[in-house]
Amino acid sequence: MALGFQVTFDAGDPQRLAEFWALALGYVPEPPPPGFASWAAFAIANDIPRDQWRAAVVDPSGHGPRLFFQPVPEGKTAKNRVHLDVNVRSGNPAQRRALVADHVERLVAAGATRLREVDDEFGHHVVMQDPEGNEFCVQ
């Protein structure tokens, strides 16, 4: 039996990073608990200090893993040992390249950094960093 999992990001600004990854993956913010109009209302009602507020995004279809963003005081200091690959779907290689380029531009506009473009025996992809420096690929 496979077990469920979430992907957890340490973040300087959990809300901003959650918004970025929601855009990158087509995810949505996780709904707040019943009885609360927002996660901010939940945090305030539970006396959670602002610097400890967290954020999460989920796959609206319910299939992908939850992404959780937790605040940490220190910044990123080393290369990721794990990264996400964002898969742009298309059967046609020429269409896929154009879709990758379009998605890369949307992500750059949202605060990502384009590091390099790679064409190798595995195909075409673009290596990027999210707004807090976490590396990922768009392919």
Task: Name the band, by pLDDT with cuts 50, 70 and 90, for residue 70.
Answer: very high
User: Last residue of some domain: 71, 102, 118?
Assistant: 71
Domain annotation covers residue 77: no
Same domain, 46 and 95: no
pLDDT value for 53: 95
Quick: pLDDT tens for 106-137: 999 999 999 999 999 888 999 999 999 999 99
Domain annotation covers residue 79: no
- Separation between Cα atoms, residue 59 and residue 139, nearest integer Å: 19
Q: Taking the alpha carbons of 61, 58, 127, 79 in that order, is the dihedral positive or negative?
A: negative
Query: What percent of the chain stands above pLDDT 70?
Result: 99
Model confidence at 12: pLDDT above 90: yes
Residue 90, domain CATH: 3.10.180.10
Domain annotation covers residue 42: yes
Total domain count for the chain? 2
**Main-chain dihedrals φ then ψ at residue 99, nearest 5 degrees:** -65, -40
User: Last residue of some domain: 24, 48, 71?
Assistant: 71
User: Last residue of some domain: 27, 42, 71?
Assistant: 71
Cβ neighbours, 10 Å, residue 27: 21
Range of the domain at 54: 6-71
Same domain, 15 and 52: yes
Domain annotation covers residue 78: no
Q: What is the mean pLDDT of the chain?
A: 94
- Separation between Cα atoms, residue 2 and residue 77, nearest integer Å: 33
